[in-house]
Amino acid sequence: MSLRSYSTTELDGDAAGPGPGSSVVYTMGQKKNQHQHQHQHQQHHDHDPLRAEKVFLSGALSGAVSRTATAPVDRLKMLLQTHDEAKGLSLRQGWQKMMAEGSIKSFFKGNGANVVKIAPETALKLTLNDAIRSLLAQDPDHVRVRERMASGGIAGAIAQGLLYPLDTIRTRLAVSPPGTYAGILHAAYRIRRDEGVFAFYRGILPSMIGILPFAGVDIALFEVFKDHLYERYDGPPPHIAIVAAGMLSSSIAQVVSYPLALVRTRLQAQASHQRGPDGSLALGQLKYQGMMDVFQKTLQHEGVRGLYKGLLPNLLKLAPAAGIGWFVFEETKLALGVDPRS
């Protein structure tokens, strides 16, 4: 017989308590001991002097592995996002465009900048989330969903804001014609020389607005899913379950915030160098004046569907990338001695 099988009248102060050795006393004792053990376990890891470093390393590795594994689909997504004609590119046309560039490297164009950005950003985001969550949570052993969302959103915004120029460089490398930039440093130099420092921060407003719901929903849902999995399996869940939890949480978060991601990408990509009729490279004209201008022109020329261009390849990229990333993060934490339930 479990504790839940008793009525509230039987368990309140007005009723006679259960006698010694009853299943109620046993169950209550079990729950009390389990709670004390969890609390002591949490305290043990809270005092781990290298906890932040371990979480940072786990986050960096997860970001680098997951994004490299899905780099071709990521570039395909950006090509579809920045193609602003009403008809748009199809998945097949976008894929053929990458193949026409003649090298396997074209499928990974911009991935170096992507890893340079994503690895520290993921590491910083997850480390900050770990610290902020412990500050916001009223009960460290039972963190509420809104506390998880708040800590995830704040951590994501700080991390993305600090490393935003690398995201702009990555976008330029991915969507510019072959030969425009020789690499990360060359792209940074050309953007700074030709367009000024502010060019690195085009699209930062929709990006910062979009990262709050994305990171908040993604991190909160994954942590909730993971807690349920540990309860269901009474211990470490199957690896595929962790991958599935990461895929589902990030997919939901991406659908919620996708229009802002599209606006950010279009603002970042504009003014990239374009090849003229004579074969020379010239700086393109600014097409959009800001976030609201992108929304207005996209809706006017492409309709509501235009705000979701590239969503399918993005989900095809994001779902496995997120699943791989969360799995690598959790496994690396475990290997480094960090409690996977903390």
Q: Per-residue b/e over 230-249, b at no fewer than 16 CB within 10 Å?
A: eeeeeeebeeebbbbbbbbb
Cα distances from 337 to residues 53, 54, 56, 331, in angstroms, run 12, 8, 13, 10
Neighbours of 93 (CB within 10 A): 12
Whether the CB-CB separation of 246 and 327 falls below 8 Å is answered with yes
Q: What does the H/E/C string look like for 200-244?
A: HHCCHHHHHHHHHHHHHHHHHHHHHHHHHHHHHHCCCCCHHHHHH
Which among 66, 76, 166, 63 has a CA at the least distance from the CA of 119?
63
Q: Which residue has the tokens 């950010």?
A: 264
Strand partners, 274: 282
The pLDDT score that the predictor gives to residue 7 is 38
Predicted pLDDT at 63 = 92
- The two three-digit tokens of residue 20, written as one number: 């010694």
3-state secondary structure of 175: helix
Q: Does pTM surpass 0.75?
A: no
Contact 69, 316 (CB under 8 A): no
Helix (H) or strand (E) holding 44: helix 23-46
Provide the residue-wise pLDDT of the chain in tens; the chain has 342 residues.
433 333 333 334 443 343 434 444 444 444 444 444 444 444 444 578 899 999 999 999 999 998 888 888 777 777 777 776 656 677 777 777 777 776 777 777 767 777 888 899 999 999 999 999 999 999 888 899 999 999 999 999 999 999 999 888 888 887 788 788 888 899 999 999 988 899 899 888 888 888 898 999 999 999 999 999 999 998 889 999 999 999 999 999 998 888 888 888 888 877 655 555 565 555 556 778 888 888 898 898 888 888 888 888 778 878 888 999 999 999 999 999 998 777
Helix axes 164-175, 184-195, angle to 10 degrees: 100
Place of tokens 């379950």: 241
pLDDT of residue 24: 41
CA dist 116 → 193, 230, 332 (Å): 22, 33, 19
Quick one: CA torsion of 183, 184, 186, 188, rounded to 10 degrees? 150
Question: Which of 257, 268, 248, 246 has its CA nearest to residue 308?
Answer: 257
Tokens of 22: 């009853």
Phi, psi dihedrals of residue 83, rounded to the nearest 5°: -85, 105
CA distances from 88 to 83, 137, 178, 318 (A): 6, 46, 21, 21
Name the one residue in this structure whose structure tokens are 């590119």: 89
Q: How far is 93 from 67, CA to CA, in rounded Å? A: 23
User: DSSP 3-state assignment of 333?
Assistant: helix
List phi, psi (to 5°) of 283: -75, 125
Q: What is the C-alpha separation between 222 and 329, in angstroms, rounded?
A: 12
Residue 331's closest CA among 133, 41, 59? 59
Q: Which amino acid is at 121?
A: E
Record the tokens describing residue 337, joined without a space. Answer: 């001695």
Strands 281-283, 273-275: pairing kind: antiparallel
Tell me, what's the pLDDT at 86?
58
Locate 6 and state its tokens. Answer: 């008793």
